[in-house]
Structure 1
């Protein structure tokens, strides 16, 4: 409760349950929860109105005695007293300017002087993976981090750039010219497709399904695998993951199993959220393109081949036994989560972008 509740702006004091507040809330909503709401609204045919708010307000008398003091080192000549009694609570409500994805892309192009550059069809060259490149020249670290930060903001609505941005963000300590070229290529790709975004069709089922995949030893720096996963409500993509695994997998099976466990955790969270909408998605389908991983999930015996896998990843088996999920085989060519784990040529990349549910308006 203390962690999720905002504290009073009074030095040395904090709110107490039952006196200052009765409910506990988190001030920030997960982006996946917003996508779930939008997917539900498209399925039901609701009209959704948006208002971007910079801050909320409350103007009313305070029943309790509340005192605040000036920050250390601050002196206001109009109010020389250091301690004040607060009579009314006043916060500001301001409507922020409407922001959209293509506007943010235009700001990136203008900020980094990419308005007149040529566009790119893909994000990363398949034949030139990103490495430390010790012999290359250093680049301005502040410029590099600024470009990465601007692109990370876009990943909330652009799963097509997720893998490339995550790959480039691993070199923020000592970026080289090759890394800067990779980031510039991402921006040139965005210049050609500034309005490409997720499409939530109304005419679609509302069943949940998920896809899990892993790029075994795909990270050239430490040979760790990359986890990829995505979750759909019908044809509506509501969540996706691209993350380098924390362990060094000793086999393809282990890397795929860790990725499947990560996908399972996200599925269970979505299942819990959908209960508030009146949907009980038991036996959610998780598609995996590795037959051995499916066998390990279904096999109740802890044989020697799975002992080296961390116990924390075995909860996927518990979820399977409780019939919260089911694991199904899918061909690698049909696994759309591949978009989040590696680089592809133009034809394969465009196919995955369309399949995952992204279109130009």
Structure 2
């Protein structure tokens, strides 16, 4: 199994990899179930279509999500997907994704979601700079549009409320600064339409993500 060709099983691969040193029967059953699933279901090819009208600009569509305390020792999983699209979003190519355990124990879902967005923005900005260098123009227009499914997080970003956790203040200040500088834009998307949901929890369906990958 590879997270490099099947983003929809990234969470499973991440968790099973973490349990390699001390696997148990549940891990073996999970592994066998996943292998059986991959053998029986239709594959979803990763198709990369040509981006039209590059001179009109591009977008990096970033979807981030997190689960709270669903891992061993109260750990939380975060995941994000980044799509490269044209200015009108008629073509969307997935170019990066990640499912990973957050480095610190979070005190709430809001904290986990904030850290997931922070990681996604950091990665998107790196890709943005790489693309500009490849295009030979640091002034090329490549907008970063982020999507989250937590309304509380959006309220923090829009400054309608402030973080109460001290450790979250710095993270939120960085995200707010990026928004104020118009380096990124953050919008809400319902959980049922969030493609990154499958990257953060075992029970999530991969159908939403697959629908994004099948878009032409």
**TM-score, scaled relative to structure 1:** 0.51
Flag the 1:306–1:313 CA change in 2: closer, same or farther, 3 A.
same
Flag the 1:216–1:193 CA change in 2: closer, same or farther, 3 A.
same
Q: Which has the higher contact order (CA 8 A, sep 6+)?
A: 2
Q: Name the structure 1 match of 2:199.
A: 340
Say which SS state the counterpart of residue 309 (structure 1) adopts: helix
Flag the 1:336–1:353 CA change in 2: closer, same or farther, 3 A.
closer
> Does the Cα contact within 8 Å between 2:156 and 2:172 map onto a contact in 1?
no
Give the C-alpha shift of residue 193 in structure 1: 4.6
Structure having the larger proportion of residues in helix: 2
> Does the Cα contact within 8 Å between 1:213 and 1:337 map onto a contact in 2?
yes
Distance 1:287 1:186 in 2: 28
Give the C-alpha shift of residue 310 in structure 1: 6.3
Deviation per CA, 1:115-156: give whole Å up to 9, x if none.
xxxxxxxxxxxxxxxxxxxxxxxxxxxxxxxxxxxx3xx211
Give the C-alpha shift of residue 210 in structure 1: 0.8
Give the C-alpha shift of residue 319 in structure 1: 1.6
Residue 73 of structure 2 is aligned to residue 229 of structure 1: no
Give the C-alpha shift of residue 189 in structure 1: 2.2
Q: Name the structure 2 match of 1:356.
A: 212
Deviation per CA, 1:267-320: give whole Å up to 9, x if none.
1111111212254213x210111122122223298x461423263564222222
Distance 1:312 1:257 in 2: 7
Distance 2:186 2:51 in 1: 26
Q: Name the structure 2 match of 1:198.
A: 46
Flag the 1:175–1:207 CA change in 2: closer, same or farther, 3 A.
same
Count matched residues. 201
Deviation per CA, 1:44-66: give whole Å up to 9, x if none.
xxxxxxxxxxxxxxxxxxxxxxx
> Does the Cα contact within 8 Å between 2:79 and 2:199 map onto a contact in 1?
yes
> Does the Cα contact within 8 Å between 2:163 and 2:169 map onto a contact in 1?
no
Give the C-alpha shift of residue 330 in structure 1: 1.1
Q: Name the structure 2 match of 1:264.
A: 121
- Return 5+ residue gaps in structure 1 as ranges: 1-150
> Does the Cα contact within 8 Å between 1:214 and 1:228 map onto a contact in 2?
yes
Q: Name the structure 2 match of 1:254.
A: 111
| Structure 1 segment 278-293 matched on structure 2, within 5 A | 278=137, 279-282=140-143, 284-293=144-153
Q: Name the structure 1 match of 2:179.
A: 320
Greater CA radius of gyration, 1 or 2? 1
Give the C-alpha shift of residue 340 in structure 1: 0.6
Give the C-alpha shift of residue 333 in structure 1: 0.9
> Does the Cα contact within 8 Å between 1:229 and 1:240 map onto a contact in 2?
yes
Give the C-alpha shift of residue 337 in structure 1: 0.7
Distance 2:22 2:163 in 1: 42
Distance 1:308 1:297 in 2: 16
Q: Name the structure 1 match of 2:27.
A: 179
> Does the Cα contact within 8 Å between 2:82 and 2:96 map onto a contact in 1?
yes
Say which SS state the counterpart of residue 261 (structure 1) adopts: helix
Q: Name the structure 1 match of 2:7.
A: 159
> Does the Cα contact within 8 Å between 1:274 and 1:280 map onto a contact in 2?
no
**TM-score, scaled relative to structure 2:** 0.82
The root-mean-square deviation of aligned C-alpha atoms, in Å, is 2.5
